[in-house]
Structure formats: structure tokens, C-alpha cells
Amino acid sequence: MRHRDRIIHSSAFRRLKHKTQVFIEHEGDYFRTRLTHSIEVAQVARTISNALGLNTELTEAVALAHDLGHTPFGHTGEDALSELMAPHGGFDHNAQALRIVTDLERHYADFDGLNLTWETLEGIAKHNGPVTGELPWALAAYQQRHDLETGTFASAEAQVAAVSDDIAYNHHDLHDGLRAKLFSTDDLAELPILRRCFGHVDKSHPGLDRYRRRHEALRRFFGVLVEDVIGAARLNLAMLAPRTPDDIRHAGFQVILFSDALRQDLKVIREFLFDRMYRAPPVVEMRKEVTGVVKDLFPHFLDHPEMLPRRWREDIENADGKTELARIVSDYIAGMTDRFALQCHESCIAGSGR
């Protein structure tokens, strides 16, 4: 479908190649980036969507677009930018993704953004569930023009994209943590669901070398997650018996999700990753460093908007007050790759002797 293809060919999608998942982009060639993550999410989502008889093209489009709004340096960059933008309406990466595909991608002759379908935009905005309370400003601005029904659940296809995100990052963060030597294969084998996966591999392939054994166990873990979602979703769909897509949106609960037993297993995995990876001293130290980069760049460009590239000049000239200017600066920084943000900091801040 054209909307999926436009996402793939967008500048924002290409920039994901040099944006972080957990490790800074230059830390290693084998660690996942936002681009590899998005591709993996789309592959998982397509598999699940096809098994459930859903619209695979819509599912894939939402999966490919779900991380377009991420800042450089992953959630660390987002936290810093959110703090800086607090007086100006805040910053939210899901709302920023919507802003990108409806406005900031300006390449087509007939429209700004990517001219995506309502269902794709709804999925980008709501794939994690209903958006209640005060809406992020970027979402609220679009909502005034086109109602995305933010108080309801998203389509089944968007829910598939969301759960595929969970599958992909739980799987690949274990891989990346092993590569970074933050934990060992033996550590993984202590986790209940992975203990079962290793046991299955040892029974079916006795005598495997350490590397292949680990790879097969993680591959089985990945398969278990996918199969569990498909099974649990089929039960929910059979119970709900939806006649239209809106029956999913108004079901009052998330229809596409893991079984209760698997959710408990994943809770243990997430606790392990937080303890051994996301809060590991090298990662924490790295986050402190890149937080400073974002917090230096934002006031610098706010004070010197003339230093933004020509592409942003017209927006700057039309900005009405400090909040609009801050949002333009936020858009610019959020679009940076890890590498460019570090280079920009070196030339604009460190090079100036600040």
C-alpha cells in the first residue's frame, strides 16, 4: 500500500538507522538501532496479522512508523527534551511521530506530511491504547482538525503492532546485553521462560556449542512469544466475535495481547533487563553524557535560531512567541541522529569553549 511505502521512503525513517535503542550509535556495529528495531517489529507484526486474518499492510505501516518520533539517544534523549519542553506543552514521541507524518515531512508537491490514511494515523497515535487526560500538544493540534477518537482503543492491526514492539525489544535487548557482556548465558538460563527454552534445545539438539545453544534458545523464546499472542488473540476474538473494526475499538479492553501466564514471564524478563542492562553503570554513565548534549543544544538554538538550517527558516520567521519557537527547536533536535547530535554539540557548544 502507498502509505506503507511512503513511510519507508521518508527522511524520518532513514534517520532511524543512526538512532539508538539502548546503546549510543557509535558504541558497536552489532547493536540494534531504531531502524533495525522497526524492521523487526514490522516482520513480527506481519506474521501475527497474517495468522489472525487482519490487514497486513495496515499492520506493517503502523509498525514501521511507530518509532519515527524518537529523539537521538533513545528514551534518554526523550526524557531530556520532555523536561526542556515542559513549559511549552511537553514532548511525546508518539505525538511527534504523528507530527512528522502529517506535517514535518515536506517533500510532496500536493501536501505536507505523507498523506496517510486515517487508520494509519490512528494506529500511530493510539497503538499503546486510548490516550486519556490532557493530550500531548502535537496530538491535540491534529485532533482539532481530524478526530482520531483518542478515547477508544486502536484497531486490531495497531494493537498487533504494539505487541510486536514488545516481542522485538524483549528479544533483541537480550541479544544486545549479551554482546555488551552485561550478563551471561548462564544468567539467562536462570529466568523461568528461558530455562524452559534452553531445556528444549538441550533435549532436541544435545551437544550444541555454546553460541548455537544460546542462539537456538533465544530463537525459541521469540517463537514462544509470537505463538502465545496468536493463541491469546484468537481466544479474545472468538469471545468478542467482532463484526466491524469499530467493535474492536469499543471492546473496552485490549484484544491483542499475551496470555496471563506469558505476561508473568515477561515481567520477570523486564525486571532482569532493567536491573542488568538499562540501569547498568556503563549505560547510566552514557545516559548522563547524552542528556547533557540535548540540554546544551536546546537553549543554544533557542537563543540562536538563525543557526538552524535553511529548511527551518520560514517556520522560524512565522513563529508567534517563544513557545512556537521552542517547538521548532524541539522538532529540529528530535530529528537529529545520535551521530549528528554529537557532532553538532562538538561544533556549536564544545568548540565554542562553553
Question: Three cell numbers at 224?
Answer: 514462544
Q: Confidence band (pLDDT; 50, 70, 90) for 26?
A: very low
pLDDT of residue 1: 66
pLDDT bin (cut points 50, 70, 90) of residue 24 is low
The mean of the pLDDT values for the chain is: 93
Give me the pLDDT at residue 354, please.
Answer: 53
Q: Say which CATH superfamily domain 2-145 falls into.
A: Hypothetical protein af1432 (1.10.3210.10)
Is pLDDT larger for residue 286 or for residue 330? Answer: 330
Mean pLDDT across 168-176: 94
Domain ranges of the chain: 2-145, 159-282, 284-352
pLDDT at 87: 95
pLDDT tens sequence across 45-54:
999 999 999 9
- pLDDT tens for each residue of 219-268: 999 999 999 999 999 999 999 999 999 999 999 999 999 999 999 999 99
pLDDT band of 314, cuts 50, 70, 90: confident
